[in-house]
Amino acid sequence: MSKLLDKLEQLSEGRAQPLGFGAAVAKGKSLPMVIVASVPVGDAKLAAIAAKAGADAVLMTLEHQEKGDEALAKLSSAKTDIPWGAFLTAVTKEEVEQLIEMDCDFVIFAPDKTPAAVLGAEKIGKVLQIDPSLSDSLAKAISHLSIDAVLLGPVSEDQSRLTVHQLMVYERLAAGAGKHLLAAMPPGLPIDDIESLWGLGVRGVVVDLAVKNPEQRLSQVKEAIQKLPTTRKKPGEKISASLPAPRERSETMPPEEEDEDEEWI
């Protein structure tokens, strides 16, 4: 099983353990959310920073024009001390099988450019990236697909804050998908928004480390996660209460019998 998926399963059941071999494991503590560090493929320095700073996994990203053999060639040289995954907009089943041979732990892909045969791949975590504009009917269809998690992409490319409207959009997608939830953390998104994502049911954040101070960014994210409330909400879990409807007496319903033990005076 994918190590990333296993960690998400543990979080949903309240029994999470440290995932990789970095700082988080050294301290013997597990955070209530998974941290996936997003780095350009081939950037060994950023990958090392992610592992040292306690990220649970590394996500290797490629340029949009890179695909097929060119992309796989770059990914084959990826070396990290923690589980790693690949972000490929379009990926074939054959390419997924090659990724498995490279010890790739999970793959993130887009639904409109990926062959359906990919869903039958095993021994690797399958994460579907979904656009915020996805319709309700298609969001609900995700629950029937053989995927392990969904990645909620940013509502806008220059997302600098999480508005109430954007949170509503995420809530709609989360309720329909019925899968483990990951959310993208663009460089401009405030750390304070992590608690809002947590309340939504998100149990993993993909943090872009292609920033000026990657170590500081990752440290801030980790600190914010450590401060999250202990109460855990499972994805799609709702709390509701209702009172029984009052019983109406029918004209044909016989009157209730009096208690035989009741004494009459």
pLDDT tens for 71-90 read 777 787 777 889 999 998 88
The mean pLDDT of 168-182, rounded to a whole number, is 88
Rounded Cα–Cα distance for residues 91 and 97 (Å): 10
| pLDDT of the residue at 190 | 86
Lowest mean pLDDT among 36-40, 102-106, 112-116, 248-252: 248-252
Q: Using pLDDT thresholds of 50, 70 and 90, give the confidence band for residue 240.
A: very low
pTM for the full model? 0.78
Which residue in 81, 66, 76, 75 sits closest to 24, CA to CA?
A: 81
pLDDT tens for 15-38 read 555 444 444 444 445 788 999 999
Residue type, 60: M
| pLDDT of the residue at 178 | 87
**Residues 148 and 179 sit within 8 Å (Cβ to Cβ):** yes
pLDDT beyond 50 at 241: no
| pLDDT of the residue at 72 | 79
- One DSSP character per residue, 144-181 reads GSS-SEEEE--SSTT--S--HHHHHHHHHHHHHH-SEE
| pLDDT of the residue at 16 | 53
The mean pLDDT of 227-255, rounded to a whole number, is 54
Topology, domain 3-226: TIM Barrel (3.20.20)
User: Which element (helix H / strand E) includes 130?
Assistant: strand 125-130
pLDDT tens for 212-222 read 899 999 999 99
